[in-house]
Amino acid sequence: MTHDIYTRMRDTVLAALKGLDPSLPPEIADRVEVTPARDPAHGDMATNAAMVCAKALRQPPQKIAAALVAFLGEAPEVEEVTIAGPGFVNIRIEKPAFRALLPVILTHGESYGDSTAGHGRRVNVEYVSANPTGPMHIGHCRGAVVGDALANLMAKAGFQVTKEYYINDAGAQVTALAWAAYWRYLQAIGTPLTEEEFSAQVPGGLQYRGDYLVPVGAALAKQHGSALAQPDLGIAAPENWIDLVRDATIDLMMAEIREDLELLGVRQDVFSSERALVASGAADATIDRLAADGLIYEGVLEPPKGKTPDDWEPRPQTLFRSTQFGDDVDRPLRKSDGSNTYFANDIGYHANKLDRGFDMLIDVLGADHGGYVPRMRAAVQALSGGGTKFEAVLCQIVHIMRGGEPVRMSKRAGTYVTLRDLLEEVGRDAVRFTMLTRKADAQMEFDLDQAIAQTRDNPAFYVQYAHARCRSVLRSAVEMFGAAAIEPAVLATAPLDSLDDESDLTLIRRLATWPRTVEAAALAREPHRIAFFLYDLAADFHMLWNRGRDNATLRFLQPDQPAETQARLALVAATAIVIRSGLGVMGVTPVEEMR
């Protein structure tokens, strides 16, 4: 029997519908939901079955609802069934059915809520993928947290997940980075050139000026001395040092990025190099593959929207027929000079993922990459014959605030807030939790004052405090009754009839929604739902805690009432388990006590 009481009830509803019409189409049955009732006064659950099946069953919703009421009224665990509105069916579950959930949680521990919805499908979640041209900043942070939590969530929901970072280490940006690192190298060996004199000799001028490259220059000087410069410490011929400096700089910057990710609690399984893929010929091979399928042609694109004929130069290019797969325009893969576009390299990279056997590809991107999604979806569809799904999760910008004013915290980068600065200011757990308190595609303000406040307005603190309170109760129980009293196997056998107060049942009902929350959040690719669930669960627990101050029968520890105490300890222990499970998905550490 499934641990999810909502799934069990949905199965019962579907059985009732099959009794009305055994040939009910699967696509109609898939739309049937059993969800928590919006108003607890009307019941514990509600189903839309009569509404969504009316057309297929050729009956009015009210008639179908009446048949459901008759069927469900005889079902185990059901106390009452009523019809609401045009055909919604409200279901009230017997209290023992909810209380029976506690031994399940205690027995299964943090695996309670695990789902098989993913059916073991192989999913690649690519996130962060920042150019190694500077420190991790706040813009990278949100994508890193969202991507990591999404990967954790999908793994809990039964997907086989690989976490990946794509190193954008090819192209003009890393060449510009090499020049900037070379300038810091010249500084380290005592160059007489001024920054302006050096910049004047750089193709396109000096682009990266942050102090974060000072250690890179020092490392190059330590390893090579003055060998990379002219005898007078000026610029040597670039062809003699550009590859060496670029490679060394990328390695050093990626080492720093990995350190930052580690501080954030992000550990990817795979790091893929764009430069290595290009060197392997993957992009060219993918273009040939598309050409063999008749999806490549030489043509001239229409002027982009907003361009006038005077500022538009028609050029023949190698184009991918992405409009055949839902894109709004065909996309260039090679420029007029024969070199590959960035999109061509990205197609080669995603073809590499497909060759590794993934069933689904998910890219976590900044919101400014929204236009990239249709073209890559088209490419993946073309390359996989429609067999692999491509999705993107877009993350909006984050504004750092203090006292209602924008904050610039970076000491080294100068123009943006670095991830390390933020972590030093508020800590990893607060950063990760706060980043998940908004839907990814919604803009957010990260309030530094709120992130460190010890109030319910700080969701990270509020949830951590609930877990700490649970652990405090269990430690006190050990002091009173011995360690055996809080063993899960012992608590799983506790009589639970005394958990009859509405506050008890509200908390248990919330725990009952954890499995469906995991599954729904994973299928919607919305890890922020976990943060919302945990906040609501914490609120239910804090309410019960506070009621115990005024009502002695609701206190968790009652030495003269051993049966009631054991029941309450079972509830506390189950609550702590689910909080830990949720925090694990979010990558947040559950604290044992609050200082």
Label residue 312 by pLDDT band (50, 70, 90): low
Over residues 500-550, the pLDDT tens digits come to: 999 999 999 999 999 999 999 999 999 999 999 999 999 999 999 999 988
Over residues 120-144, the pLDDT tens digits come to: 999 999 999 988 998 898 889 999 9
Q: Do residues 343 and 375 make contact, with C-beta atoms less than 8 angstroms apart?
A: yes
Which residue spans of the chain are classified as CATH 1.10.730.10?
Answer: 456-586
| Overall residue count recorded for the chain in this entry | 595
Separation CA 34–CA 13 (nearest Å): 8
What is the model's pLDDT at position 232? 87
Label residue 337 by pLDDT band (50, 70, 90): confident
CATH topology of domain 456-586: Isoleucyl-tRNA Synthetase; Domain 1 (1.10.730)
Which residue spans of the chain are classified as CATH 3.30.1360.70?
Answer: 5-93
Which residue spans of the chain are classified as CATH 3.40.50.620?
Answer: 122-168+268-395
Over residues 430-471, the pLDDT tens digits come to: 999 999 999 999 999 999 999 999 888 899 999 999 999 999
**What b/e string do you get for 488-499 counting C-beta neighbours within 10 Å, with b at 16 or more?**
bebbbebebebb
What is the model's pLDDT at position 410? 54
Instruction: Kindly indicate whether the domain formed by 122-168+268-395 is annotated with CATH number 3.40.50.620.
Output: yes
Label residue 2 by pLDDT band (50, 70, 90): low
Sorted by sequence, the CB contacts under 8 Å of residue 108 that are 6+ apart come out as: 3
pLDDT at 417 over 90: no
Separation CA 345–CA 331 (nearest Å): 13
What is the model's pLDDT at position 311? 56
What is the model's pLDDT at position 309? 58
332 bridge partner residues:
319
Task: Report helix, strand or coil for 593.
Answer: coil
pLDDT at 302 over 90: no
What is the model's pLDDT at position 493? 96
Q: What is the mean pLDDT of the chain?
A: 93
End-to-end CA, the chain? 42
Sorted by sequence, the CB contacts under 8 Å of residue 123 that are 6+ apart come out as: 154, 159, 160, 161, 162, 358, 359, 360, 361, 362
Over residues 207-236, the pLDDT tens digits come to: 998 889 999 999 999 999 999 999 888 899
What is the model's pLDDT at position 139? 84
CATH architecture, domain 5-93: 2-Layer Sandwich (3.30)
Give residue 434's identity as a one-letter amino acid code.
Answer: T
- Of all residues in the chain, the percent with pLDDT exceeding 90 is 85
Separation CA 34–CA 516 (nearest Å): 10
Over residues 459-512, the pLDDT tens digits come to: 999 999 999 999 999 999 999 999 999 999 999 999 999 999 999 999 999 999
Separation CA 301–CA 360 (nearest Å): 31
Task: Report helix, strand or coil for 402.
Answer: strand
What is the model's pLDDT at position 217? 97
Separation CA 386–CA 125 (nearest Å): 19
Query: What CA dihedral angle connects 67, 70, 75 and 78, to 10 degrees?
Result: 110
Sorted by sequence, the CB contacts under 8 Å of residue 68 that are 6+ apart come out as: 13, 16, 17, 47, 49, 50, 81, 89
